[in-house]
Amino acid sequence: MKKVMLVDDEISNREAIRTCIPWEEEGFILCGDASDGEMALTLTEQLRPDIVITDIRMPFMDGLEFSAIVRERNPEVKIIILTGHEDFGYARTALRIGVHDYCLKPIREADLIQLLRNASELIDKEREVKANIEKLRQCELEKIEISREKLLNDLCSGFVTTMEAIRLGRSLSLDLQARYYVVVIADVRTFGDNPFQQALDRKDLFQFKRSRTEICWLIKGETLEQIQHGLKIFKNIRQINREQTSTASVSITMGFGSVQERLMNIHLSFLEAVEDMHWKRLSSQNRVTRCESISGSMEQYVFLDRTCFVNFLKIGSPSQLSSFIKEYASALKGIDWATSPFGFYILNDLTFEVFRSAKEVYRHRDTPEDTLQQLQQMIKTIRSLDEATQYLISLTNQFWSWRSQTNDRYGEMLRRVKAYIHSNYSNDTFSLQDAAEHVNVSSSHLSKVFSQETGHTFIEYLTQYRITKAMELFKTTSFKSFEIAFRVGYNDAHYFSTLFKRITGMTTKEYKKSIRIDRTLFVMNRSDTLSKKLPSPVK
C-alpha cells in the first residue's frame, strides 16, 4: 500500500479529499496532512510518503517551492499538484521540477483516484526496475568475487604467470603488485562469530576460501614491517584461541608460509603454509588426546622444552649429543612408562615439532610420512627412561641425516649451475631453462632449489654476476658502455644502464668517472712515494 500525504492551506479541501476516497480499498494509506509547505517538509521527512497531493498558493512556502525541495531530497516521491490557477507559468515550472501530474480544481473523485492509481503503477515499475538493477549488480559483484577467489587460488597454486596475474588483477580491481608477500592459511571450525572479521577490510590482505573450512590470506606490503604487522593480526587470533581452548566456540589451526619477494614465488609460501598447518594440526590433536588421557595426573607437570631441542638439532654437533640428550631426557624420570600413555604423547608431540621444523629448514624435502609412522611405532615400544633416551638420540640422528642429505643432494648441482653461469653469462639468450637442461632437472625445480639454497633467484644471481663482470671491464678496458653491455650479455644498452644504476647506485658515466679519480689519486700517491725515495739535489 502506498502512503499519501495532503498539503493544502484550506482545511475544507483537505477534509473533502480525505472523505471522498476509500483509501485502503484502493490500496492507499492517508498518512498525514499539512496546511503549508514549511510544515509539510518536516512531515515528509518523518512520514516518508510515496505520493504527495499539494496546492500551489499557500502561506510561508508555496506548493512549487515545497515540491522542488521534496524532489531534490526524495526524487522517488510522486507529486500531484491540484490548483485553481490556470497560469501556464505555474504548469511550466511544475514540469521543470518533475511533478508527476498537474490538475485544476475542482476534480472529480474518480479522476483523483485514477491519478493516484497512475502514480502507484509508476512507483511499482520504478521499484521493479531498481530491484532488477540491484539484482544484476549483486550478480556482477558475486561473479567478480568468484573471479578474484579463482585468481588468488590459481596464484597460490602456481597456475598463472606473473604477467597473467597482474593483468587479471587489474581487470578485477585487485592490486597484486608489492615488494613482499606471505601466505597464511587457517582451518576454522566455528560455532559463533567469525574470529577473522578484523582482517577482512584491510587493503593489504586478500582472502579466498580453499575448502569448506579452510581460508587463505595473501598479505602484501612494501616493507617487512608492514608484512609483520599483517601477520600480527593472525598471531594474536591464534594466541587468543589457544588461551580459550576449553571455552572457545571456534577451533583454529593456522599455518604460516615464508616471506617472498616475487609474485611467482607466492605459491612457495602457500605450500609452506599448508605444510605448517598440517603439522600443527597433528600436534594439536596429539596434545588434546594427551590432556584427555592424563586428566588429574601429576604427570601433566612434566615439561620438555621443544624449542631447546630443535635449536640443538640445528646447531649442535655429534660430540655434544650424548651429554645433551642425557640432561634433556632427565625431565622424563617421573613417568611410569609401563602403565601410563603420557610418555607416548609427550614424545609424539616433540616428534611433530621436529618434523615441522625440518620442513621449515629443508622446505624442498619430500613429506616424510613413512618416517613419521616408523618413529611413532618406536615410541609405542618404549618402556623405560633408557629407551626414551635412545629414541631421542634416534630422532636427532634422523634430523641430522636430512641436513646431510640436503647439503649433499644440492651442493654439487648448484656448483655446476654457477660454473655454467660463469661460462655463459655473455650469451644474451642464456636462461634458466638452459641451466636446468645442463644439470638435467626441470626449470621450476632448479628455480625453487636455487632460491632456497642461495637466497637469490637465478635471474638475480645472473644479473649480479654480469654487472660484476661489467665493472671489471670498465676498470681494465677502454670499451664504451654499449660494447661492455654486449660483452656481458645485454643487447639493449639502455636496459643495461638501468640495471647497472640499480645494482651499483651509480650510472655508467659516474662509475667511469670514479675510476679515473681513483687512478689519478694512485698516480699522485705513487709520485709522492718516489720523490721521497730519490736523493736531494746537490747544492
Cα gap 163→177, rounded to integer Å? 11
What pairing do the DSSP bridges indicate for beta strands 2-7 and 51-54? parallel
Cα gap 33→42, rounded to integer Å? 11
Domains and CATH numbers, the chain: 2-129 (3.40.50.2300), 178-292 (3.30.70.270), 294-411 (no CATH), 425-527 (1.10.10.60)
Kindly tell me if the per-residue pLDDT of 517 is higher than 60: yes
Cα gap 208→145, rounded to integer Å? 9
Residue type, 247: T
- DSSP assignment string, 170-233: HHTT-----SEEEEEEEEEEESSS-TTGGGTT-TTEEEEESSSSEEEEEEEESSHHHHHHHHHH
Beta bridge partners of 183: 218
CA distances in angstroms from 38 to 50, 91, 216, listed in the order given: 18, 21, 57
CA of residue 195 relative to chain centroid, distance? 16
Picking from 208, 204, 193, the residue whose alpha carbon sits closest to that of residue 154 is: 208
With cut-offs at 50, 70 and 90, classify the pLDDT of residue 285. low
Return the minimum-mean-pLDDT range out of 137-151, 481-495, 499-513, 515-529: 515-529
Kindly tell me if the per-residue pLDDT of 30 is higher than 80: yes
Kindly tell me if the per-residue pLDDT of 463 is higher than 50: yes
Q: Mean pLDDT for the chain?
A: 80
Kindly tell me if the per-residue pLDDT of 462 is higher than 80: yes
pLDDT in tens, 214-263: 889 999 999 888 888 888 888 888 777 766 655 555 678 888 888 888 88
